[in-house]
């Protein structure tokens, strides 16, 4: 839980600014100090008086404020915090950050800081989807600025889509990994997740029932222990874990490329359900029925084994490589053999027979197979499995 931290909260000028009043209260409730900064536009939405009253702190508003500079210079102000949060972060603030502007107090503080920065964007859906904003988003992410939201939903302007500022608790939860505390601080962990899809022709593909829930939970658990996580995921409707660097792919071949590009890593967890086969010759035209009533003629070929490729590497192999083995028969024996064959350190075996309800469900029952032997874990939520695995990884890398 986030407590005892000093958060410099920059409130941007958007309709969601009223939600930052709640953010101040909830942060203080947990024993944190909030130092508020208002942009000129923010003052049109919330008053300095209400912000100051809730924060029980002086509100900083002006770059050239003599009293403010005497009490604490703006450079010192930006460095005295444990974390800078920008909520709501407007399209303009994002553009200023990405462009390195420093023409008011908020942008100058963001330029002068050496502390983690988290932004909670909020704006009209078209402004969010505008190429300029998306370009700025990519820039900010590449500079390790943590981005929370925006959420999809009904907007104050009556439109629908992504643009709503995230809820207070989601913003606070994202602050913990932003601070980078925890036993995996300074470690890079790679996680693959979700299914892959393999095109047959422009309209058809091969895939599987993986939801990506277990992989996402693992990524999130690793982030909460302070790891930098590269999350390589196939198409999945599970929300993207907060605080990861996500790489979205479709096919196994793309997943392998993304995994190779993300190395080096201290540990790698291969939770993706990679399609075993792809079409040997992807058709660029839609395959038509030939009128004979018979099956179509198309051949399959085997996909590269991503886990084995990485685990059997001579150079640049992560210190710890973890695979999964989803089976319906002889689960443990198959998993033991798979661990040997693929060269990974640990295998988490699970029974995916339909009656277990594991595929697509919220629970999992896994057995950890390592060089130390076979360890059965009780059936528990996928979040608990993830937390236990992340803790094990932290212990092992320590
Ligand atoms: O062989 P099987 O698919 O059962 O192996 C499961 C493990 O191998 C999982 O960790 C999965 O992510 C990984 N895998 C992979 N690339 C493949 C097939 C499986 O990384 N092509």
Model confidence over 10-49: pLDDT tens digits? Answer: 999 999 999 999 999 999 999 999 999 999 999 999 999 9
C-alpha pair distances (Å), 4 with each of 19, 34, 38, 128, 300: 22, 10, 23, 33, 57
Distance 306 CA to ligand 1 centre (A): 7
Model confidence over 72-81: pLDDT tens digits? Answer: 788 889 889 9
| Residue 191, H or E segment | strand 188-193
What pLDDT, on a 0 to 100 scale, did the predictor assign at position 222? Answer: 93
Relative to the CA of 327, which ligand 1 atom is closest?
4
Two structure tokens written together for 235: 């198409």
Ligand 1 contacts CB of residue 307 (under 6 A): yes
- Which residues, other chains included, contact 186 with Cβ-Cβ below 8 Å and sequence gap of 6+? 226
Ligand 1 contacts CB of residue 346 (under 6 A): no
CA–CA gap between residue 187 and residue 173 (Å, rounded): 20
Model confidence over 56-92: pLDDT tens digits? Answer: 999 999 888 877 777 778 888 988 999 999 999 999 9
Model confidence over 235-272: pLDDT tens digits? Answer: 998 878 877 889 999 999 999 999 999 999 999 999 99
What pLDDT, on a 0 to 100 scale, did the predictor assign at position 1? Answer: 67
Q: How many residues does the structure list for the chain?
A: 398
What pLDDT, on a 0 to 100 scale, did the predictor assign at position 242? Answer: 73
Question: What's the mean pLDDT when you consider all of the chain?
Answer: 92
- Kindly state the average pLDDT of the residues 132-161: 87
344 is catalytic: no
Report yes or no: 325 and 367 within 8 Å, Cβ to Cβ: no
- For tokens 């990485």, name the residue: 310
Residue 213's closest CA among 188, 190, 232, 240? Answer: 240
pLDDT band at 355 (very low <50, low <70, confident <90, very high): confident
Mutate to test the pocket of ligand 1, among 251, 259, 309, 323 (most ligand atoms within 8 A of CB): 323
What pLDDT, on a 0 to 100 scale, did the predictor assign at position 185? Answer: 85
- Kindly state the average pLDDT of the residues 186-206: 95
Which candidate in 157, 333, 337, 374 is catalytic?
Answer: 157
Mutate to test the pocket of ligand 1, among 191, 270, 304, 336 (most ligand atoms within 8 A of CB): 270
Ligand 1 contacts CB of residue 270 (under 6 A): yes
Flag whether pLDDT at 135 surpasses 70: yes
Distance 272 CA to ligand 1 centre (A): 7
Ligand 1 contacts CB of residue 324 (under 6 A): yes
Mutate to test the pocket of ligand 1, among 191, 195, 301, 306 (most ligand atoms within 8 A of CB): 306
Distance 215 CA to ligand 1 centre (A): 13
Model confidence over 108-133: pLDDT tens digits? Answer: 999 999 888 999 999 999 999 999 99
The reply to whether omega before 150 is within 30° of 0 (cis) is: yes
CA–CA gap between residue 240 and residue 299 (Å, rounded): 34
pLDDT band at 180 (very low <50, low <70, confident <90, very high): low
Backbone CA torsion sign across 390, 391, 392, 398: positive
pLDDT exceeding 90 applies to what percent of the chain? 69
């Amino acid at each position: 839980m986030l407590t005892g931290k000093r958060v410099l909260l920059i409130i941007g000028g958007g309709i969601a600014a009223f939600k930052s009043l709640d953010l101040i209260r909830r942060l203080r409730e947990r024993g944190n100090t909030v130092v508020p900064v208002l942009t000129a536009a923010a003052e049109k939405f919330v008053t300095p008086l209400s912000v100051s009253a809730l924060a029980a702190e002086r509100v900083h508003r002006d770059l050239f404020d003599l009293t403010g500079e005497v009490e604490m210079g703006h450079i010192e102000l930006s460095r005295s915090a444990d974390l800078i949060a920008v909520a709501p972060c407007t399209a303009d603030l994002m553009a200023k950050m990405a462009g390195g502007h420093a023409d008011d107090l908020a942008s100058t503080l963001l330029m002068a800081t050496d502390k983690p920065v988290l932004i909670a964007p909020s704006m009209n859906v078209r402004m969010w989807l505008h190429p300029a904003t998306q370009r700025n988003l990519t820039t900010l992410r590449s500079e390790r600025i943590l981005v929370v939201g925006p959420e999809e939903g009904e907007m104050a302007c009556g439109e629908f889509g992504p643009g709503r500022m995230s809820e207070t608790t989601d913003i606070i939860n994202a602050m913990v990994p932003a601070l980078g505390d925890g036993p995996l601080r300074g470690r890079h962990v790679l996680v693959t997740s979700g299914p892959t899809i393999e095109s047959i022709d422009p309209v058809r593909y091969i895939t599987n029932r993986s939801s990506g829930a277990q992989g996402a939970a693992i990524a999130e658990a690793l982030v909460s222990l302070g790891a930098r996580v590269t999350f390589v995921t196939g198409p999945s409707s599970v929300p993207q874990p907060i605080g990861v660097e996500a790489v979205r792919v479709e096919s196994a071949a793309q997943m392998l490329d993304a995994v190779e590009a993300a190395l080096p890593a201290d540990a790698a967890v291969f939770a993706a359900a990679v399609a075993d086969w792809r079409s040997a010759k992807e058709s660029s035209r839609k395959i038509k029925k030939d009128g004979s009533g018979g099956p179509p003629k198309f051949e399959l070929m085997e996909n590269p084994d991503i886990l084995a490729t990485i685990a059997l590497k001579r150079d640049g192999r992560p210190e710890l490589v973890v695979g999964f083995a989803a089976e319906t028969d002889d689960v443990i024996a198959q998993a033991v053999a798979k661990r040997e064959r693929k060269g990974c350190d640990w295998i988490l075996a699970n029974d995916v027979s339909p009656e277990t309800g594991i595929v697509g469900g919220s629970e999992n029952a896994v057995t950890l197979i390592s060089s130390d032997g076979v360890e059965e874990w009780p059936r528990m939520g996928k979040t608990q499995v993830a937390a236990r695995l992340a803790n094990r990884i932290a212990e092992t890398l320590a």
